[in-house]
Structures are given as C-alpha cells and as structure tokens.
Amino acid sequence: MSGIGIVKTALRIEVRDGFAEEITGGEEATKFKGLLELHGRLSRNVAEFGIGTNDRAKITGLILEDEKVLGTIHIAFGDNVTMGGTVNVQSHLDGLVLSPTVWFDDRKIMEHGRLLV
C-alpha cells in the first residue's frame, strides 16, 4: 500500500457511494487512515480499480507492472484528474491485493484471485 509498504495485517476497506468509509485492520489501517486524513474527504475517493489479467506480468515491486498480474486487483484512493476524473486532491494512494476476493454489492466476482465472471 502506498505510504505504508507491505501490509502484515489485512486491511478491510468498505466502500460506499465511491468513498472508503470504513477502514479496519490493525496498525496499518490506522496509518492509512492518517494518510487519508491529511487531505480531507476527497482523498477517500475511489480513483481507480483494476483487475490484473496479464498472465505474463510478474510482481516486481513497481506498481505499474504489479497491478497487471493475473489474479490481483489494485485500487487507488484520491486524485483521478489525470485519468479523466473530476476529483482533484493532493493525494493518490495505490494498493495491490494478492489473491483477492471481490464483491460488488451482493455479487461475488472474484474469489482468492480467480475470476468468477
């Protein structure tokens, strides 16, 4: 997670209406909330969400490669103006999730890194 590093205790981020509303998960969650609080509510905006689909990409430690690895997701919070969005804030924090389970409302679309749709 940008600004945090490798997370030892899983973060749980509940998103409602496009914003990270609840963040739990120990010491790293507290640090992450602190980073978001520096720039106000707009830093909690879901700026991007992507599903890694490249079976040849490798985890390298560089987010631009890592976010494409098959079976991962990445999510960023904060500014999205450079991607055509409308949220302009002095924060953009990317996070990579290995082997994620992803729900959209009441539909599970990914389980432990395997696409279900």
Residue ranges per structural domain of the chain: 12-115
Structure tokens at 107: 């539909």
**What pLDDT does residue 102 have?**
93
pLDDT-based confidence at 3, cuts 50/70/90?
Answer: confident
Burial of residue 4 (CB within 10 Å: 0-12, 13-18, 19+) is middle
CA dihedral 4, 5, 9, 12 (to 10 degrees): 60
Best CA proximity match to 76, nearest among 29, 25, 13, 31: 13
Say if residues 93 and 77 touch (Cβ distance below 8 Å): yes
Residue 28: predicted pLDDT: 93
pLDDT tens track for 32-50? 999 999 999 999 999 999 9
Asked whether residue 63 carries a pLDDT value surpassing 90, the answer given is no
Mean of the per-residue pLDDT values of the chain: 94
pLDDT at 6 (0 to 100): 85
